[in-house]
Amino acid sequence: MSEGELTAIEQSYRARTPASASLMARASGFMPSGITRTLAWFAPYPIVFERGAGASVFDVDCNRYIDMFSNGLSLMHGHAYAPIDAALREALSRGTAWPGASDAQIDFADLLCARVSGAEQVRFTNTGTEATMLAVKLARHTTGRAVVVKAWDAYHGSYDDLEVGLQGQGELPSRVALARFGELSSYEAALARNAGNVAAIIVEPVQYTGVVTPPPAGFLGELRELARREGVLLILDDCLMSRLAVGGSSERFSMPAPDITCLGKWVGGGLPVGAITATSELMAPFELPGDDSSLYHGGSFNGNLLGMVAGQIAVRDLTAEAIARIDAQAERLRVGLDRAAAETGIAIRTPGVGSVFGLYVLDGPDGAIDWNASRLLHLAAVNHGVYYGTGGEFGLSTVISDEEVEQASAALSSALADLARERAVVGTA
């Protein structure tokens, strides 16, 4: 195959998405690369979606895709979830945001405190990014120290300090120190390098950005103990992985309660909602009327009516039974992928926990990730009507049926076969 020649997979994609191509060309005139969210982009151009329903999304070319990404794990119950849809229609007649509390806000705070380990009080934000920002702000205020320790490659939202360790960004002196996820000794070293200056350790229970990475057995509990021993706060960024158990990832991994838990993504029921939870003592700086020890926290849409209404239903309907069902469905998908990969001679990895996993093509058995091949597999899957994250991320919603899981498994097997044929063509060119 000559340089610049389209692969058969890309040719197929272009043939089935002309309306997306046209709209993305137009969008590029108004938005960088035609998008407003980095992970939405993939070559040769991303899909332009028209609507979503249940576990499916539909593009402007009338193609249907089984959604295995759930909008970055933010749609726990799929698209246009009927109970949320009905409740929002009713709530809209009351307005959208008020300058004070609402009954829905109080009820939702009560529900979260009942479910989240160590939660006595809640502070609402609009996104998970705002939640992690607020958690860091609270930790620094409480301890009087500035340094936060986080893991390389860990994503905690679009906040400069917490983007350290991504895309090659090194430590930020006096602000952010880096450690290796799963390696307790590297956290100990980061604390030692910044002795007396560390406010908190922030950690994702399962790393999702880059390569999906479950924690080693016992690691999260050991990290909790390390934070206590060193007198620093532990912030659990559970925006993504609170889906793993009714009580969140601390329950899933039998982890002692963190000092602060950050929530976001799916807890808004498809609307932008974030929150932090902690003990009443730790939340005391937010108490009013304020004094010199108080901490200001504004936000016109914090705890807005629609997000509170939708969020209550989303959290209420994530039951232990629903979690067990989608965990089992994800496991069937991973088994099917491994079987199809063996049949086609494609080496893959599918690391994950419960309903969350990643799919990566390797450059050989037990080899490194071949990102070019992984991206081509993603495009092949799209051609066969399955959408997952552009970086290989999967996260199932509670509304996906067993039939849709079987359809997706067959489609992914076909995508692997397409990739194998492409490799054969390249090998003989």
- Reported as a single tens digit per residue, the pLDDT across 352-399 is 999 999 999 999 998 999 999 999 999 999 999 999 999 999 999 999
Q: Which two tokens stand for residue 239?
A: 């925006």
Band the pLDDT of 420: cuts 50, 70, 90.
very high
Torsion of CA 161, 315, 240, 200, to 10 degrees: 40
What pLDDT was estimated at residue 425?
72
Domain ranges of the chain: 8-76+319-428, 82-316
Residue 4: pLDDT over 90: no
What pLDDT was estimated at residue 137?
98
Q: Could you tell me if 376 and 9 are in contact, meaning their C-beta atoms sit under 8 angstroms apart?
A: yes
Alpha carbons within 13 angstroms on the beta-carbon side of residue 126 total 8
Residue 61: pLDDT over 90: yes
What pLDDT was estimated at residue 6?
79
Residue pointed to by tokens 């009580």: 247
Mean pLDDT along residues 316-330: 98
pTM: 0.95
Residue 105: pLDDT over 70: yes
- Reported as a single tens digit per residue, the pLDDT across 331-356 is 999 999 999 999 999 999 999 999 99
**Distance between CA atoms of residues 232 and 309, nearest Å:** 35
Q: What are phi and psi of 356, to 5 degrees?
A: -120, 130
DSSP string of 136-184, one letter each residue: HHHHHHHHS--EEEEETT----S-GGGGTTSTT---BTTTEEEE-TT-H
Q: Could you tell me if 74 and 268 are in contact, meaning their C-beta atoms sit under 8 angstroms apart?
A: yes
What pLDDT was estimated at residue 53?
98
**Distance between CA atoms of residues 387 and 351, nearest Å:** 18
Residue 428: pLDDT over 60: no
Q: What fold characterizes domain 8-76+319-428?
A: Aspartate Aminotransferase, domain 1 (3.90.1150)
Band the pLDDT of 1: cuts 50, 70, 90.
very low
What pLDDT was estimated at residue 429?
38
Q: Which two tokens stand for residue 44?
A: 């040769």
Provide the total of helices (H) and of strands (E) in the chain, helices listed first.
14, 16
What pLDDT was estimated at residue 300?
95
Return the CATH number of the domain spanning residue range 82-316: 3.40.640.10
Q: Is the dihedral of CA 344, 346, 357, 42 positive or negative?
A: negative
**Distance between CA atoms of residues 267 and 52, nearest Å:** 19
Mean pLDDT along residues 88-111: 96
Residue 427: pLDDT over 60: no
411: part of which helix (H) or strand (E)? helix 402-428
Q: Could you tell me if 152 and 165 are in contact, meaning their C-beta atoms sit under 8 angstroms apart?
A: yes
Residue pointed to by tokens 């997952």: 388
Q: Residue 278: beta bridge partners?
A: 121, 260
* Percent of the chain whose pLDDT exceeds 70: 98
Band the pLDDT of 426: cuts 50, 70, 90.
low
CA angle centred on 110, ends 276 and 267, rounded to 5°: 50
Residue pointed to by tokens 């502070």: 123
Residue pointed to by tokens 């926290």: 297
Other CB atoms within 10 Å distance of the CB of residue 30: 8
What pLDDT was estimated at residue 288?
85
- Reported as a single tens digit per residue, the pLDDT across 5-34 is 679 999 999 999 999 999 999 999 999 999
Residue 289: pLDDT over 90: no
What is the chain's alpha carbon radius of gyration, rounded to the nearest angstrom? 22
